């Protein structure tokens, strides 16, 4: 249902009814009832105002926040692929550790997930999870312990005994 609402939200913003300010004053109840189902544009002089439910506005803002995240990550990926330096303070600096093949794969996955979420086919949480997984993979790739594990010779090695702690009693 949430995905359907997002799609409906995108389609109803400008498929609205136009009402002048005088009609709003005379038919306030009717205009509010119209705004329940879709956006109503109120015209006063040369100004226009949008009247819509808060839930619809919240969905639009949520969509924009996710689209901004996608744009930011993809912009950083593009800069890395072009060999441009990335500011260490950039929140998406983590992409610098990924190789070009992984960066291209991630970009394709982000584009796809973003498109599916924007069209209401999947919830935005799937997009969030995808970005989170790539970020976790990048942080794991930076870990010296993970690098050592991947570079270790195959085979079994005996585990060392854990140190026995002393207690002060």
Mean pLDDT of the chain: 85
**pLDDT tens, residue by residue, 53-66:** 899 889 989 999 99
Answer whether residue 132 shows pLDDT above 80. Answer: yes
Mean pLDDT of 36-64: 88
Mean pLDDT of 28-54: 87
Mean pLDDT of 85-111: 96
Answer whether residue 166 shows pLDDT above 70. Answer: no
The pTM is what?
Answer: 0.69
Among residues 72, 76, 63, which one has the least CA distance to residue 11?
A: 63
Q: Which residues in 2-27 are b (16+ Cβ under 10 Å) and which e?
A: ebeebeebbeeeeebeebeeeebeee
Cα separation, 159 vs 155, whole angstroms: 12
Q: Domain locations in the chain?
A: 2-52, 62-150
Answer whether residue 4 shows pLDDT above 80. Answer: no
At 167 the pLDDT is 61
């Amino acid at each position: 249902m949430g995905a359907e609402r997002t799609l409906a939200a995108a389609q109803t913003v400008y498929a609205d009814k136009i009402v002048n300010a005088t009609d709003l004053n005379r038919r306030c109840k009717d205009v509010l009832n119209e705004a329940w189902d879709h956006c109503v544009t109120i015209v006063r002089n040369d100004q226009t105002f949008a009247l819509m439910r808060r839930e619809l506005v919240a969905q639009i803002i949520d969509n924009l926040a996710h689209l901004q995240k996608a744009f930011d990550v993809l912009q950083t990926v593009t800069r890395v692929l072009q060999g441009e330096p990335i500011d260490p303070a950039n929140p998406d600096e983590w992409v610098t550790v990924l190789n070009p093949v992984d960066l291209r794969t991630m970009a394709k996955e982000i584009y796809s997930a973003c498109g599916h979420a924007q069209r209401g086919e999947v919830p935005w949480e799937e997009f969030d999870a995808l970005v989170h997984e790539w970020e976790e993979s990048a942080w794991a790739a930076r870990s010296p312990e993970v690098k050592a594990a991947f570079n270790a010779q195959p085979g079994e090695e005996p585990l060392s005994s854990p140190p026995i702690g002393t207690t002060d009693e």
